[in-house]
């Protein structure tokens, strides 16, 4: 089956600053793909999963962010993984399939037999090697990762129908008005290079239609589709839907976790999922401590080597502590992400919260929430450089950057 010549490349879509507005206030000062989940940038999780694919030769990140926002990360991760990671910046939006086509010459420069395409804002265990094996068995042009969700939430995603035996993709519809299926598209794909011909066909077809310009009642129907630029091609509506049922596309269902990282609150849940995943993939990243010489660690916890945590603190489960954080005596941290340069003073409690860079949490204060990841205020979020004074309680609230709170608040958005 597999020859040593067969090379694989991976492309990770990272989006751009226009897209991440729902991720405020955390996206104000760091691109969403570099926001840490379980102590590692969001994009790090798909990248390290790609590293496990046999014969992987290159990883590309495609997006609209300025190159300088990714320069440092890309060079450090390339060194760490010993795989070239390159950031490719789009000049304008080309759509999910169009951007792949736009950079086709770079993507194909190693003449890979397979191309992985991943979205940065999904959280899963990325079973890429298993997917590739299934894809080879199916013998189609592409295989997409699918997952079962509750029938109530399915409408938020691309719903698909697959043949229960052959796993062929029979029907695909993006965010349908009525319920089609509880099997959804996870935004993780593997293609053969034929995908480029399929994208080219969509563009050519669109050009031909634009050139015809039939003067008839038919034309008014065409105007809606014709207004799309010929080089703007969407993977879901323009490729997956039309090719479904033509023995070209197949599905691989994951039984493991899958989440889409839309709002900041959900990142806390994803951080927990990735921390649990570290038990299997990189246990060395997890902290341990029994409360004598070092802090008492409960469950899955990540502590950056530069952080200073007092031995009387009690940390976990699901806590991620970033660089240069200082945690004082008697502090209790549960289910939270604490970002770079934060100071948590004596006996403070942080629970179901995300604490922004350079924030200060005063003595005996509490920053907490219900922990409902989908509710608007289910996770308390402090933006960058927020100061919570001593003995102040902040519950189910969002505090924008550079604010000082000297009174307690509940269910508020502090602008």
CA distance 340 to 415: 22
- Over the stretch 171-193, which tens digit does the pLDDT of each residue have? 999 888 888 899 999 999 999 99
Choosing among 3.40.50.300, 3.10.129.10, 3.90.550.10, 2.40.30.110, the CATH entry for 8-260 is 3.90.550.10
Whole-angstrom CA distances from 250 to 133, 140, 159 are 12, 7, 14
Q: What is the pLDDT of residue 4?
A: 56
Backbone φ/ψ region at 324: left (φ over 0), alpha (ψ -120 to 50), beta: left
pLDDT at 215 over 50: no
Strand partners, 344: 327, 361
- CB-based burial, 365-399: b 16+ in 10 Å, e otherwise: bbbbbebebeeebbbbbbbbbbbbeeebbbbbbbb
Q: Residue 287 in contact with residue 297, Cβ under 8 Å?
A: yes
* Tokens at 85, concatenated: 């990671």
* Mean pLDDT, residues 50-55: 96
pLDDT at 230 over 70: yes
Helix or strand holding residue 162 (H, E)? strand 158-162
Round the average pLDDT of the chain to a whole number and report it: 92
The angle at the Cα of 13, spanning 8 to 14, to the nearest 5 degrees, equals 135
Least confident of 96-105, 196-205, 327-336: 196-205
Local structure of residue 406 (DSSP, 8 states) = -
Q: What is the pLDDT of residue 20?
A: 57
Better-scored residue on pLDDT, 28 or 126: 126
Residue 166: φ, ψ to 5°: -85, -15
DSSP string of 210-268, one letter each residue: HHH---SHHHHHHHHHHTS-TT---IIIIIIHHHTTTTSEEEEE--S-EEE--SHHHHH
The model carries a pTM of 0.92
* Tokens at 174, concatenated: 């993006």
pLDDT at 353 over 50: yes
Q: What is the pLDDT of residue 225?
A: 53
Report the SS3 class of residue 331.
coil
pLDDT at 117 over 60: yes
Residue written as tokens 């989440």?
259
* Tokens at 110, concatenated: 């190693």
- What does the domain layout of the chain look like in residue ranges? 8-260, 266-274+284-414
Q: What is the pLDDT of residue 7?
A: 96
pLDDT at 231 over 90: no
Better-scored residue on pLDDT, 22 or 80: 80
What is Dmax (Cα atoms) for the chain?
Answer: 83
Res. 29 pLDDT band, cuts 50 70 90: confident
Please tell me the CATH superfamily of domain 266-274+284-414, with its number.
Hexapeptide repeat proteins (2.160.10.10)
């Amino acid at each position: 089956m597999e020859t040593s010549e067969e090379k694989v490349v991976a492309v990770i879509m990272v989006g751009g600053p226009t897209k991440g507005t729902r991720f405020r206030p955390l996206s104000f000062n760091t691109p969403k793909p570099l926001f840490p989940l379980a102590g590692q940038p969001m994009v790090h999780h798909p990248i390290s999963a790609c590293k496990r694919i046999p014969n992987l030769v290159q990883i590309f990140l495609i997006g609209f962010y300025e190159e300088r926002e990714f320069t440092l990360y890309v060079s450090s991760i390339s060194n760490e993984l010993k795989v070239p990671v390159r950031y490719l910046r789009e000049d304008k939006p080309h759509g999910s399939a169009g951007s792949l086509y736009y950079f086709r010459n770079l993507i194909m420069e190693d003449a890979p037999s397979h191309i992985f395409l991943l979205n940065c804002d999904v959280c899963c265990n990325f079973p890429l090697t298993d997917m590739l094996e299934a894809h080879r068995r199916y013998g189609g042009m592409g295989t997409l990762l699918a997952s079962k969700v509750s029938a109530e939430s399915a409408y938020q995603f691309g719903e698909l129908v697959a043949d229960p035996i052959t796993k062929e993709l029979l029907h695909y519809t993006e965010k349908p008005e009525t319920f089609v299926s509880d099997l959804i598209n996870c935004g993780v794909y593997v293609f053969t290079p034929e995908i480029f011909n399929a994208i080219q066909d969509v563009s050519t077809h669109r050009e031909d239609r634009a050139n015809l310009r039939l003067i008839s009642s038919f034309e008014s129907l065409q105007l809606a589709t014709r207004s799309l630029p010929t080089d703007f091609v969407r993977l879901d509506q323009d490729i997956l839907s039309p090719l479904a049922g033509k023995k070209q596309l197949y599905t691989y269902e994951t039984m493991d976790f899958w989440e889409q990282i839309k709002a900041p609150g959900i990142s806390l849940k994803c951080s927990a999922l990735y921390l649990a995943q570290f038990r299997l993939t990189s246990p060395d990243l997890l902290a341990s401590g029994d409360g004598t010489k070092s802090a008492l660690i409960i469950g899955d916890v990540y502590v950056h080597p530069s952080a200073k945590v007092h031995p009387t603190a009690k940390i976990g489960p699901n806590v991620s502590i970033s660089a240069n954080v200082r945690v004082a005596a008697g502090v209790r941290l549960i289910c939270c992400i604490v970002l770079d340069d934060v100071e948590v003073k004596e006996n403070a409690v942080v629970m179901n919260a995300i604490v922004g860079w350079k924030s200060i949490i005063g003595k005996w204060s509490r920053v907490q929430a219900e922990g409902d990841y989908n509710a608007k205020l289910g996770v308390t979020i402090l933006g960058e450089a927020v100061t919570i004074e001593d003995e102040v309680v902040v519950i189910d609230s969002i505090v924008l950057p550079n604010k000082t709170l000297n009174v307690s608040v509940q269910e508020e958005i502090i602008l």
